Amino acid sequence: MKVALFCILFSFVALSIGSAMNESPTYDEVFYKEEGRRIWNTREFRDPYNPPLVPLITAVGVGGRGVSVVLGVILIIAVYRVGGVVAAALLAFEPTFLAHSHYVTNDIAVTLFIFLAATLRRPLLLGLSIGYALSSKMSSLVFLPLVLRPMRWRQLLGRAIVALFVVWASYLFTWDVVIREREDAGRLSVRLIQYARDHNVPAIERAVLFLQRQPLPLGTYAATIKNNILRFGKPAMVFFDGELYDGSRWYFMVINVLRKLPLPFLILVLFGVWHARRFAAIAAGIIGIASVVSMGPLVRYVLPAIPFLALVAAAGVRKKILVLFLLWQIVGTIWQYPHFISYANELVGPQERRYEVLADSNLDWGQALPDVMRWAKQEGIGTMQFSYFGRDEASEYRFEDICAIGEMVLDPKSTKVVTLISVSNWYYCGYNKEEAYRKAKIWNVIADSVLVF
């Protein structure tokens, strides 16, 4: 079994590093890297929606994508200790997990620590896991209650003290106000003060002013919680099935999960539900909450469900059948190399038409710049016009505005001119509604995620 685990881990690391070396930084990675460097240099936390653990640990030393790969390795080992070699293999060769376990984002970190919180029993380790999950991503606040075992109030208090210490440590033990003062008549804090004065409720005004003026330990974390609550109260534009919507619908996430997980994985999950009911309930709870809390139908938001689904999938059928389904999954995953992020199963249809139903981090997150440049060189393109969905390296090619079409001369001797549009920009920037960039005008798709006109 140890030899099998070594082979699984070796394959996972090889695929992850190979993919990382063949992809440009994704849309969110740039921000995480900048945030980490800024925190270490200035102790200033600017991200209003995410805790700082991932930016901190990925900005140290060589850091970067390698840290995420290490976290993925630890998670595979943790799944192996609970569910055995088949569960570990099912997770290691799951494309969405493979994709996000080499990106500098908080998805793999929160997935690891939520899983550890669900499976560890030792009090200190459990408290640390809870703390690291809370320090990784705010969604852990709603996911952790699903995974924690019942405990007495004294046990709960002890774990909470350890967890809060870890969270405060991730903020470098800084003190800060919960509400920053800013001139904006529409702010909730301003309206609360006005309400308190109009209705003679001085306690509300005193509370708001206290939170504005008094620095507190974990003040920045409390402000992050507040910002996320306010954010979820506002409908956001989301993409689903080729259209943009004002706000998500509960079934958007469910359908995208069914599209993005490998078919053999899904079939095994169906057979294993009864045999691993606790883990099935946790996974269903994570997907269910994400579906109704207006997170948007991006499957990376429910990445913490995938290790539990791997345990369920490994529990239900005989080993010979498991091996056949596992081989099916492995072949499909390797076929998708190096862009695991754009994987979708057979239910979606041909690979070159995935852009019709998927976008953003379900398909196109700005990862395909190396493929674009290789393709342009092979085709002898003279001038390339490109609307690129990304925030890094684009400036080198003069593609600075996320929606605007920039221009780059590759070969002055060539008269070939092409227009490229990232799939996400095609939808989010409205190009799909323009006559010049209608679907009928597409003559090639690069790396599943860049349309050529």
Using one digit for the tens of pLDDT, what is the confidence trace for 13-35?
A: 999 999 999 999 999 998 898 99
- Comparing CA positions, the residue from 406, 405, 417 lying closest to residue 381 is 417
Give the span between the Cα atoms of 90 and 283, in whole angstroms: 15
Q: Looking at 293-349, list the stretches that DSSP marks H as alpha helix, in order from N- to C-terminal side.
A: 305-313, 319-335
pLDDT of residue 402: 77
Find where tokens 């200033």 sit: 44
3-state helix, strand, coil in the chain (%, to 5): 60, 5, 30
pLDDT of residue 267: 97
- pLDDT (tens digit, 9 = 90+) per residue, 215-269? 999 999 999 999 999 888 777 889 999 999 998 999 999 999 999 999 999 999 9
pLDDT of residue 400: 56
Distance (Å) of CA 424 to CA 27, 180, 189, 353, 413: 11, 34, 35, 14, 32
pLDDT of residue 319: 78
Examine the domain organization and report whether 294 and 275 are in the same domain.
Answer: yes
pLDDT of residue 217: 96
Give the span between the Cα atoms of 220 and 227, in whole angstroms: 10
Examine the domain organization and report whether 300 and 321 are in the same domain.
Answer: yes
Question: Is residue 314 within 8 Å of 83, Cβ to Cβ?
Answer: yes
Element at 126 (helix H, strand E): helix 123-136
Find where tokens 């209650």 sit: 145
Angle at CA 199, nearest 5°, toward 198 and 203?
Answer: 105
Q: Which strand ranges, in their side-by-side order, compose the sheet holding 406-409?
A: 406-409, 383-387, 417-422, 450-452, 444-446
Examine the domain organization and report whether 244 and 272 are in the same domain.
Answer: yes
What range defines the domain where residue 205 resides? 175-232
pLDDT of residue 396: 55
| Structural tokens at position 136 | 């990784």
In a domain, 345, yes or no: no
Examine the domain organization and report whether 43 and 165 are in the same domain.
Answer: yes
Q: What is the mean pLDDT of residues 282-286?
A: 98
- pLDDT (tens digit, 9 = 90+) per residue, 358-406? 999 999 999 999 999 999 999 999 999 999 998 765 555 555 567 888 8
pLDDT of residue 403: 86
Q: Indicate if the pLDDT at residue 141 is higher than 90.
A: yes
Question: Is residue 177 within 8 Å of 214, Cβ to Cβ?
Answer: yes
Q: What is the mean pLDDT of residues 408-437?
A: 94
Any residues with CB less than 8 A from the CB of 199 and at least 6 apart, and which? none
Domain count, the chain: 3
Give the span between the Cα atoms of 396 and 352, in whole angstroms: 28
Give the span between the Cα atoms of 398 and 408, in whole angstroms: 7
Distance of CA 171 to the CA centre of its chain: 21
Question: Is residue 202 within 8 Å of 155, Cβ to Cβ?
Answer: no
Question: Is residue 420 within 8 Å of 372, Cβ to Cβ?
Answer: yes
Q: Indicate if the pLDDT at residue 124 is higher than 80.
A: yes
Q: Indicate if the pLDDT at residue 348 is higher than 90.
A: yes
In a domain, 121, yes or no: yes
Domain end, chosen from 232, 247, 281, is at: 232
Q: Indicate if the pLDDT at residue 209 is higher than 70.
A: yes
Q: Indicate if the pLDDT at residue 62 is higher than 70.
A: no
Whether cis (ω within 30° of 0) applies to the bond prior to 338 is yes
Q: Provide φ and ψ at 149, rounded to 5°.
A: -75, 150
When pLDDT is cut at 50, 70 and 90, the band that residue 188 belongs to is: confident
Query: Mean pLDDT score of the chain, rounded to an integer?
Result: 93
Give the span between the Cα atoms of 51 and 21, in whole angstroms: 27
Find where tokens 């001085």 sit: 202
pLDDT of residue 231: 86
Examine the domain organization and report whether 252 and 294 are in the same domain.
Answer: yes
Q: Indicate if the pLDDT at residue 317 is higher than 90.
A: no
Examine the domain organization and report whether 188 and 269 are in the same domain.
Answer: no
Distance of CA 316 to the CA centre of its chain: 29
pLDDT of residue 103: 96
Examine the domain organization and report whether 447 and 408 are in the same domain.
Answer: yes
Q: Indicate if the pLDDT at residue 59 is higher than 60.
A: yes
Examine the domain organization and report whether 296 and 419 are in the same domain.
Answer: no
pLDDT of residue 44: 93
In a domain, 360, yes or no: no
When pLDDT is cut at 50, 70 and 90, the band that residue 327 belongs to is: very high
Examine the domain organization and report whether 34 and 120 are in the same domain.
Answer: yes
Q: What is the mean pLDDT of residues 296-314?
A: 97
Distance (Å) of CA 242 to CA 89, 141, 353: 33, 31, 11
Q: What is the mean pLDDT of residues 285-311?
A: 94
| Structural tokens at position 322 | 């498991």
When pLDDT is cut at 50, 70 and 90, the band that residue 164 belongs to is: very high
Examine the domain organization and report whether 208 and 273 are in the same domain.
Answer: no
pLDDT of residue 320: 80
In a domain, 273, yes or no: yes
Q: What is the mean pLDDT of residues 187-206?
A: 90
Cβ burial 242-271 (10 Å sphere, 16+ → b, else e): eeebeebeeebbbbbbebbbbebbbbbbeb
Express as a percent the part of the chain with pLDDT over 90: 80
pLDDT of residue 61: 62
Examine the domain organization and report whether 7 and 27 are in the same domain.
Answer: yes
